[in-house]
Amino acid sequence: MCGICGIYGLHDKEIIQRMCKTLAYRGPDNEGYFYDSNLMLAMRRLSVIDIETGKQPLYNEDKSIILVYNGEIYNYRELTKELKEKGHIFTTNSDTETIIHLYEEYGEGLLKHLRGMFAFALWDLKRQQLFIARDRIGIKPLYYCYNSKIFAFASEIKSLLVHPDIGRELNYKGLHDYLTFMYVPAPNTIFKDIYKLLPGHFLIYENGNITIRQYWDLDNDDIILKDISKYDENDLLEKLSNLIEESIKIHLVSDVPLGVFLSGGTDSGSIVAMLSEITDTPIKSFSIGFEDNYLNELDNARLVAKRYKTDHHEFIIKPQNIDFIQDIISYFDEPFADSSAIPTYYVSKYAKQEVTVALSGDGGDEAFGGYGNYKADKIILYYNSLPSFLREKAIPFFTDKLKHSSENLSFNYRLKKLIAMSRLSPELGHVFWLSIFDRELKDRLYKDIMLRTLLNNDTLNRYHDYFSRFNKKDFINQCICVDIKTVLPDDYLKKVDMMSMLNSLEVRVPFLDHKLLEFAVNIPSKFKLKGLTTKYLLKKIMKKKLPNEILEGKKKGFSIPLSKWFRDDFSALIENYLSENLIRKRGYFDYKLISLMIKEHMTKVKDNSKFLWTLICFEIWHQKYLN
């Protein structure tokens, strides 16, 4: 695992060296550079495979192809064997060299042969062509800047910002979208002229022009399993179980110690259970918990650890432990308000003390239909079939009488949001469930004229294209595919990458192996959401492997107890980052609404913690990157 960056054109070597040093925590073991008259490449390496000879940049035999690469290719040994049979000569035992020889053999077609997570840049000296690519799901990040002065790329935005020709101009559309979702959706970023390379895409820079192409998608004709309708439940269980086991096996390729994040949920518990059947080596497991019982899953994690005799490590997060929360949030070089980043940082920090690689259950909710919003989607489909009198008058009348909740997780909060969903199309309702600031709130919040011009630019509408792309699937599977294309790479995977790399830890996600995912998204949703039971097939596979407390327990997620902490230990954050003087000085937002939200939250009239946290994270980012 590494950090990579590069600049095309004539530039001072000191610039690329400074860009590279900003990525030092991504690769603390060594660094490497390539200098050419037209291009400079750099990388920082975290050694995981072929520790001695896997250094980068790496060259082919005549040094006409140069590669910097971040990630892991899990099938590299099989590919290396095939390439050697074709006459290719290898000088290392690394997965990095496999990419170079695949390019020599297949050109751009190399990508379909890779099984793993990756972001890389390959310079073809003879063709004077730069080829950069990102893995199918977006597990590894890749950003680029393209304007009249420069083309540059990097694993993180902060590396690009080192370059004097790359400005720090706010992208108002990015801010508008951030307030909807708590993250900035791809391909945009919060900065003008800086973009995310979309998952499953590659970019070619040649003769001053860029070409971006998609090489993989969930709806590709060659991955739609046309005969899946012939599978009965037992066939699906067998096939899915085999694919999960195969994925876990290939994710074990490593020359350094390896462990597992054990959250206490079905996904991470499944990883531990199946891993224990594959390996005789004692499993190191790592868990994070809270004093707040509602969000604490440590008891469940301990049940799995005890059953499979793991070498178990756990840590309790308390508000007073988070003495540098501003630093954690500011490491995201865009505004990012998913509070589960904080426990992800801490579990990575403590895992790194024991291992260099950790397996995670991320992706299980998307692959097997585990999120609560899929239940909401299904309920809305039923709700919309009710008589119009009930939908339009009786039920809304009842919900209007419910008091506002001081907890976002309460029944009446969820019920009110469901009713609001029902007034939208099912597609927009799905996206609305995931949103924070809606249009009405933004109308009250926005003071800046540039933001107000975006009010009619509905962030939710952009998702119509995604739903249309997957219109051959049933509605729940459409929602799952849309989430895989959007919130998964832009929120969940970004969070895991940033927080783990900040601790120089490589995290692998077996449930996001593309072969497993290609099969899973084509399983009819009736086998994922049985009634309102989520992850039906996975839970059935794990019925004899995991305790009932986990399989039948309520999903708690991985977020911190913001609502409670804001009224206690986090109150200083409100004073420091949402003060009247500061909000008025910025000029983006109306302080009257923010003041009302603070008052409502502190007096337990409403739970406004997500709104407040979203605004605080923006201000923390602003102070570091725009001040």
Both structure tokens of 255: 């020359």
What single letter denotes the amino acid at residue 509? V
139-167 burial, b if ≥16 CB within 10 A, otherwise e? bbbbbbbbeeebbbbbbbbbbbbbbeebe
In Å, how far are 180, 514, 586, 601, 611 from 582, measured between CA atoms? 22, 46, 6, 20, 17
For 61-117, how does the pLDDT look when each residue is reduced to its tens digit (9 = 90+)?
999 999 999 999 999 999 999 999 999 999 888 899 999 999 999 999 999 999 999
Cβ-based burial of 23 (10 A; exposed 0-12, middle 13-18, buried ≥19) = buried
Pair 140, 146: CB distance under 8 Å: no
Give me the catalytic one of 2, 145, 479, 617: 2
Pair 445, 593: CB distance under 8 Å: yes
Identify the CA nearest to 309 among candidates 268, 343, 275, 346: 275
Averaged pLDDT for residues 389-413: 59
Mean pLDDT of the chain: 89
| Residue 53 predicted with pLDDT over 70 | no
| Residue 221 predicted with pLDDT over 60 | no
Query: In which band, very low, low, confident or very high, does the pLDDT at 421 lie, cut at 50, 70 and 90?
Result: confident
The C-alpha torsion from 241 through 243 and 247 to 249, rounded to 10°, is 60
The angle formed by the CA atoms of residues 140, 335 and 210, to the nearest 5 degrees, is 50
| DSSP three-state, residue 259 | strand
* Share of residues in the chain with pLDDT > 90 (%): 67
CA 554 to chain centre: 23
The answer, yes or no, to whether the previous bond of 57 is cis (omega within 30 of 0) is: yes
Report the distance separating Cα 420 and Cα 446, nearest Å: 22
Q: What residues form the annotated binding site for ATP?
A: 288, 360-361
| Residue 460 predicted with pLDDT over 80 | no
Known catalytic residue at 2: yes
Query: In which band, very low, low, confident or very high, does the pLDDT at 294 lie, cut at 50, 70 and 90?
Result: low
Both structure tokens of 130: 């730069």
pLDDT of residue 38: 87
Report the distance separating Cα 625 and Cα 169, nearest Å: 10
Q: What residues form the annotated binding site for L-glutamine?
A: 95
For 130-165, how does the pLDDT look when each residue is reduced to its tens digit (9 = 90+)?
999 999 999 999 999 998 889 999 999 999 999 999
Structural domains in the chain plus CATH codes: 2-214 (3.60.20.10), 228-363+488-552 (3.40.50.620), 372-487 (no CATH), 561-626 (no CATH)
Per-residue H/E/C for 488-543: HHHHHHHHHHHHHHCCCCEEECHHHCHHHHHHHCCCCHHHCCECCECCHHHHHHCC
Q: What residues form the annotated binding site?
A: 95, 288, 360-361
Report the distance separating Cα 195 and Cα 217, nearest Å: 20
Report the distance separating Cα 582 and Cα 87, nearest Å: 65
CB atoms within 10 A of CB 176: 22
pTM score, whole prediction: 0.93
Residue 555 CB partners (closer than 8 Å, separation 6+): 265, 370, 372, 534
